[in-house]
Amino acid sequence: MFKLFKYDFRAISRRLVPLYLVAIVIGVVNQICSTVVIRMSSHISEGNAVYAIFYVLKMVFSFSFILMMSYVSILTIFILITNFNNSVYGNEGYLINSLPISSKDLIFAKYFNFVFWTFVSGILYIIFYIIGVSNSILASGQNVDIPKSELDLMKQRIFSSPYLSTIIEIIIIFVICLILHQLLYSWIFMMCVTFANLVKSNKLIMGIVTYIVTGVIIGIIYLSVMVSFFLKLGSVTGNGAAVFDLVRNYGIICIIIEILLNIGVFFLINYIHSKKIDLE
């Protein structure tokens, strides 16, 4: 499996690394231009026509970071999906499917590459988002300085709270749920490709329908959990400890659901890939 992962990693990196380098170069140039415009505009009075031009430029540079985030994320998913489809079910599939490797190892090798590159794109997304928000705040001229006294008071309230340990547990549970949810969507994208190859024609439509149906099913599951949570929340309102315990318990339930969904989608992909699709 490791050799297949390494081979697939190299194939994907030849397409994604140039994409990320272009995004980083454009982002650096954008940031330099944005910084120059913001500093120059600070020396111009608001009534001046030049100020309006600089204000528009600041907003354009800030908004461009949002477009950069979408550009990186969408193209990453598109390249990963097309790579999985072409290398397993397309013209390149005869080579991989003829290797002495089990269906599970093949799927895991593809999945780990999917997870790695979506993680990298996620890091870039966060970086571009932070820069974009920072530039938007600077461009608007808002003052975000918080007095030290308010920060000290905030720290005192947080660390003196009797629910501090429970809050930390809830944060950890939330992070675990978020990670598992992102892992699940890597499985879902692969599942959509697998389902799409069950049919000879209209594969794109089949993949889109699979994605929508899967989203509806997951939405119904979480809607039922939310309804149950809010029904129980009404009975413990006013009791801080009971509320935090309820949030923590339902967070654990969400973790269990995410784990079961990840396992279930994997076995479904493996079953369809090995039993239902003609790979000859």
Measured CA to CA, the distance from residue 220 to residue 133 in angstroms comes to 33
125: buried, middle or exposed (CB in 10 Å: 19+, 13-18, 0-12)? middle
Write out the two tokens for 230.
Answer: 């809010």
CB 191 within 8 A of CB 265: yes
Q: What is the pLDDT of residue 172?
A: 92
Tens digits of residue pLDDT in 259-278: 999 999 999 998 888 876 76
Nearest CA-CA partner of 76 in 127, 117, 21, 23: 117
Q: What is the pLDDT of residue 38?
A: 64
Nearest CA-CA partner of 216 in 196, 188, 241, 244: 188
Q: What is the pLDDT of residue 257?
A: 95
Type of residue at 62: S
Map the chain to HEC letters: CHHHHHHHHHHHHHHHHHHHHHHHHHHHHHHHHHHHHHHHHCCCCCCCHHHHHHHHHHHHHHHHHHHHHHHHHHHHHHHHHHHHHHHHCCCCHHHHHCCCCCHHHHHHHHHHHHHHHHHHHHHHHHHHHHHHHHHHHHHHCCCCCCCHHHHHHHHHHHHCCCCHHHHHHHHHHHHHHHHHHHHHHHHHHHHHHHHHCCCCCCHHHHHHHHHHHHHHHHHHHHHHHHHHHHHHHHHHCCCHHHHHHHHHHHHHHHHHHHHHHHHHHHHHHHHHHHHHCCCC
Q: How many CA atoms lie within 13 A of 122 on its CB side?
A: 11
Q: What is the pLDDT of residue 210?
A: 94
Average pLDDT, the chain: 80
Q: Chunk the chain into consecutive blocks of 10 residues (it has 280) and report each block's average pLDDT, rounded to whole numbers.
A: 80 86 77 69 61 66 70 86 85 67 85 90 79 64 61 70 79 92 92 89 90 94 92 76 85 94 93 74
As a residue count, the chain comes to 280
Q: What is the pLDDT of residue 145?
A: 59
